[in-house]
Amino acid sequence: MDIFWMTRKFPKEEIYSLTSQITRSSRSISANITEGWAKRNYESVFKQHLVHSLGSCAESQTWIDFALECKYIDEKVHKEMTSELEQIGKMLNKLHQNWTSFGS
């Protein structure tokens, strides 16, 4: 939700471009995890959804970088968002490697 609230401060002309892209990519992270978890009985399908989540995480980072370059966010916010996305990426990698140790 941090990204959602951050984008509320973006210029209105960005609503159908940067705002839309960053909101969709960040929401896709959790949506892919949820969809994959529903299919966890099929290891390859579940893991593929985690890979998609990692891709969405990387895409979100790209949009955060654009927001900084466009001066829609400052260095502090950029650093905070980058740190959060890095943490999410680490958790996704751990889940991908050790998925059977997470309850069913």
The pLDDT tens digits of the residues spanning 78-88 come to 999 999 999 99
pTM assigned to the model: 0.89
Per DSSP, helices labelled H in 1-104 are: 2-7, 18-38, 43-69, 75-97
pLDDT cut 90: percent of the chain above it: 85
The pLDDT tens digits of the residues spanning 10-49 come to 999 999 999 999 999 999 999 999 999 999 999 999 999 9
- Select the more confidently predicted residue: 5 or 69: 69
When divided into structural domains, the chain yields a total of 1
CATH code: domain of residue 43: 1.20.1440.60
1 in a structural domain: no
Is the per-residue pLDDT at 98 higher than 70?
yes
Which tokens belong to 96?
A: 């991908």
Which tokens belong to 62?
A: 């790209």
Rounded distance between C-alpha atoms, residue 35 and residue 31, angstroms: 6
